[in-house]
Amino acid sequence: MSGPLLEAVGVSIQFGGLKALSDFNLAIHPGDLQGLIGPNGAGKTTAFNVLTGVYRPTQGEVRVNGVRVNGRLPHQINQAGLARTFQNIRLFRALTALDNVKVACRAQGALHQNGQVGMGAKLREALGNYRDWWRAMLLTPAFQAEERELTRQAEHLLEVMGLAHRRNEEARNLPYGEQRRLEIARALGTRPRVLLLDEPAAGMNTREKADLMVLIRKLRDDFQLGILVIEHDMKLVMGICEKITVLDHGEKIAWGAPAEVRSDRKVIEAYLGDSYLESQGQSHGGPA
């Protein structure tokens, strides 16, 4: 097995007197599909924020492709191959689905040309005055060629996500489940090697969740990604993830295959509850 694409080693972070994450360890290899679960306030999103550079760890190291990235800005970590989605959807609501994805593709292209561009400057460069792009296209053949390639890339990602028929619709007019898919398409536009999905099934109905399970596996296989998923829907997590990490109060209390995790007494007490086992036709007979 090759080395991990993403690794957290002894990562802790403290806000004032509160230790939000304590001695957190994680390794995502190519082809991994792992889950991160736990009750609200367990530290899951904090872990994502540390991994992606939103927060700098108080202790420990985050490594992407074996390189320490502590202190790097989020766009620099994205450039290194790590992309994420958010609990609260973050789209350019007035742009079309196609343009949302093109912005991501263009931004990543700008980053690869100049890895030192600041986050605000990078976004301004990527977005520019978006309406003026169409006038610029008429003036510069090289820009026209670039625009055609960006459109091709974005249309491909929309097709992968089942959104090709929505290409010209503004993001704010899409159903909630399709906005979730569009956010994933935009993350893919940055050409990641590791994809972090923060509650991707939130707000979806049963059919949409079933389709999402199939889609996440397909993304892992077709794009050769490592994927880490935060999700409260246990059917989804247990159904697609090969390994699951469980957090409680910022500490890892379990790690293993779904069958191991769902029968772990600490996980049952902290998160799943006996009612979950009963709903699965199981009982827990471990020691008191």
pLDDT at 278: 56
pLDDT at 230: 97
Calculate the dihedral angle through the C-alpha atoms of 220, 91, 88, 178, rounding to the nearest 10 degrees. Answer: -60
Contact call for residues 44 and 244 (beta carbons, < 8 A): no
Amino acid letter, residue 272: L
Q: What's the pTM value of the predicted model, to 2 decimals?
A: 0.85
Domain boundaries, the chain: 1-81+192-288, 90-188
CA 208 from chain centre, in angstroms, equals 18
pLDDT tens digits for range 149-161: 899 999 999 999 9
For residue 177, give every residue at least 6 positions away whose Cβ sits within 8 Å of its Cβ, in sequence order, or none: 203, 204, 205, 208
pLDDT tens digits for range 52-65: 999 999 999 999 99
pLDDT tens digits for range 162-177: 999 999 999 999 999 9
Q: Which residues of 211-220 are buried (b: 16+ CB within 10 A; e: fewer)?
A: ebbebbeebb
pLDDT tens digits for range 191-225: 999 999 999 999 899 999 999 999 999 999 999 99
List the structure tokens of 41: 């306030």
Question: In the 3-class helix/strand/coil scheme, how is 176-230 assigned residue by residue?
Answer: HHHHHHHHHHHHHCCCCCEEEEECCCCCCCHHHHHHHHHHHHHHHHHHCCEEEEE
Average pLDDT over residues 224-238: 96
Amino acid letter, residue 240: I
Contact call for residues 93 and 39 (beta carbons, < 8 A): no
Q: Distances in Å between the alpha carbon of 22 and those of 47, 81, 86?
A: 10, 25, 22
List the structure tokens of 69: 């990235």
CATH number, domain 1-81+192-288, options 3.90.1330.10, 1.20.1090.10, 3.40.50.300, 3.40.718.10: 3.40.50.300
